[in-house]
Amino acid sequence: MSRLNPEVIVYVVSDAAGDTGELVVRAAIAQFHPLHTEIRRAPFITEEAGLQRIIQQAKQVDAIVIYTLVIPHLRDSMKKLAETHHVAAIDLLGSFIETLEMRTGRKSRQEPGLNHVLDADYFRKVEAVEFAVKYDDARDTSGVLKADIVLVGVSRTSKTPLSMYLAHQKFKVANVPLVPELKPPEELFKLPKRKVIGLTIGVPYLNTIRKERLKALGLPNNASYATTDRIEKELLYADNIMKQIGCVVIDVSHRAVEETASLIMEYVRMP
């Protein structure tokens, strides 16, 4: 019988940056939305000691390990360690690399990170990711004026995952939480309205998501954060702010991050 778990932890292990593994994980997670999943990336692992540390950590929290290791001895070590410690581990590259070697009669180059050629395009992506981290959740409101896209919405409307996804598409994204007790930053009202994307969500849907989040944190699901009255108050407040800005609003109910991101990119690229 399957075991229900409100939160899944996934380690993404790579001898390069780990982008490939994380993108695959996010694509799979989207099929289980709104399952709360924590992705822990472990990039640039070049020694077996690093693999041992990750496997031990993963076992402690019953995590799944996804790995994209192109160096053969690291792949072999990871497989053995996972089997020894009974950790669920999936090799995303190994089988395909071995099949290509057999089909072509050539050995792979065994060089991590070859899909990240250090050109201007790659550096733009890195810069966008760093921007999304720095200006997440309005930690520094100056980012609002520097961003290509500014996401606004109440808590748990996927602002941070959307920011990171769009950053990988080379958009500089800042996000601002809308909370009735906090005044929105003045910078928000100085932007061209086309730069701002409002995110909204259905009350029952957000109620479910917030309750699951509280459970994952070990908190009672009847906290005010997840009550219908509180959610309705927050959404009404957010709706009023979005109307003041005059921005487009996207309903993220029942939408995966990838789908919402696609709608946002389509909108911002419109002439």
Which of 127, 211, 108 minimizes the C-alpha distance to 172? 127
> Rounded distance, CA 189 to CA 197, Å?
13
Per-residue pLDDT at 105 exceeds 60: yes
Residue 76: which pLDDT band, with cuts at 50, 70 and 90?
very high
Residues in CB range of 11: below 8 A, 6 or more apart: 40, 41, 42, 54, 57, 58, 63, 64, 65, 66
H/E stretch holding 42 reads strand 36-42
Distance of CA 115 to the CA centre of its chain: 20
More confident residue, 120 or 116: 120
Residue 16: which pLDDT band, with cuts at 50, 70 and 90?
confident
In single-letter form, the type of residue at position 140 comes to: D
Computed from CA positions of residues 11, 17, 18, 23, in that sequence, does the dihedral angle turn out positive or negative?
positive
> Rounded distance, CA 216 to CA 226, Å?
13
Residue 2: which pLDDT band, with cuts at 50, 70 and 90?
very low
| Contact assessment for residue 226 and residue 214, using Cβ atoms and an 8 Å cutoff | yes
Q: What is the pLDDT of residues 120-138, one digit of tens each?
A: 677 788 899 999 999 999 8
CB atoms within 10 A of CB 130: 12
Per-residue pLDDT at 72 exceeds 80: yes
Q: What is the pLDDT of residues 185-231, one digit of tens each?
A: 999 999 999 999 999 999 999 999 999 888 888 888 888 999 999 99
Q: What is the mean pLDDT of residues 139-148?
A: 93
Q: What is the mean pLDDT of residues 235-254?
A: 96
Q: What is the pLDDT of residues 17-45, one digit of tens each?
A: 888 888 888 888 888 877 788 899 999 89
User: Vertex 227, ends 216 and 234: CA angle to 5°?
Assistant: 105
